[in-house]
Structure 1
């Protein structure tokens, strides 16, 4: 049966309940901003796990920036995922790609500063849970999963409230486990499964990241 969610918070709580059943040892929750952060916050709260953000920036083609030939995924060691076939097709030279990577790195740093996040949680050797508020085409999530694998994550779980079945089947090849609460058919849009799907503001991301620090803070004597 297809499911609907009142808002991202409710979706996050339901997702957290499903993830708790997997009994993942000492996970890190990486949310994709901005929409994935309220969902990831609830997951991190229930699992008592650190919450961090994973910023993904598209690497656009020469003269056609909207056409993606790859992505930069931030982290303790930022990873670049390039579709070599498409890059060659559009004439993206190694020099061009490096210039674009540096430009997107600067934007990642700017956004991290705005969110007050230092990316202190390295995925290397860790069990990681990647959370978003849903998947439509999956390009951003795909880049995130590929980058986390390159970063040496031990076990990768993708967790989303809603996605088309075709996208989930594709993502299964890039991670170890997938948790998706509903896969409507036909699939129209992520927001169609939420009563409230208003845009998440930067200020909310900042507040949630700050509040999430208490989930893993040592108890005071």
Structure 2
């Protein structure tokens, strides 16, 4: 796999091509981790001719270094924590609780903004592909897997254009019979954005546009 990817759209197209064996399954559902995972997942869903929806996740950043994840939360109350980072950086329970509550409010805001009155998708008995634009620590994807697994899917697949070897291992060990698909696992990893030529922040407006396009497409196919 040649790196860097031009942008999230190209990465999504290449990822979708790697997942073509899943195309044609009636139980298939692609879930994006907003915001950066949505442009990638939109291309995956398009190529696989599958419905697109969201798995809302929020990273729990370390107080003195917000970009460093000490855990993550997802819709439905799922939470995973990196106890090693929490201990090493002396994060207190009060700090952890404050950041968790703050991110929970943001998660609820995005749920309303992106989904509106549209109900969450039913995962029970389905083949669910969870998509993000990259896996660094894997914290966000691990909580997404936990939240999805609570709903009893028949099969869970994690997919990202680029990932660290550590994240692939951690996510793969989290649940039985979970497949992890990463197009590239470069070392040293450095960071997700390093492996994209264009890695501008995905906006709320872009997320809503991509979702509305996908949902309108579903209506036309019915």
Per-residue deviation, residues 31-84 of structure 1 (Å, max 9, x unmatched): 1111100000011111122211222235689x999697754311xxx1323559
The aligned runs of 1:35-46 (5 Å cut-off) are 35-46=36-47
1:196 CA displacement: 0.8
Question: Distance between the aligned counterparts of 1:69 and 1:184, measured in 2?
Answer: 22
> What residue number does 1:127 align with?
127
Change (3 A) 1:119 1:8: farther
In 2, Cα distance between the equivalents of 1:211 and 1:188?
A: 34
Displacement of 1:138 in angstroms is 1.2
Q: Residue 182 of structure 1: CA displacement?
A: 0.8
SS of the residue corresponding to residue 143 of structure 1 reads helix
* Aligned-pair CA distance for 1:219: 3.5
Residue 112 of structure 1 aligns with which residue?
A: 111
Task: Give me the whole-angstrom Cα distance separating, in 2, the residues matched to 1:195 and 1:91.
Answer: 38
Q: Secondary structure at the residue paired with 1:72?
A: strand
Q: CA RMSD in A?
A: 3.1
Aligned-partner SS, 1:79: coil
Structure 2 unpaired stretches of 5+: none
Give aligned pairs, total: 213
Going from structure 1 to structure 2, the CA distance change for 1:143 and 1:214 (only over 3 Å counts) comes to: same
**Alignment correspondent of 1:81:** 79
Residue 145 (structure 1) shift? 0.9
TM-score, structure 1 as length reference: 0.80
SS of the residue 2:29 aligns to: strand
TM-fit CA distance, 1:121? 0.7
State the match for 2:155 in structure 1. 155
How far apart, CA to CA, are the structure 2 residues paired with 1:82 and 1:143? 6
Structure 1 stretch displaced more, 151-160 or 172-181:
172-181
What residue ranges of structure 1 are gaps of 5+ in the alignment?
Answer: none
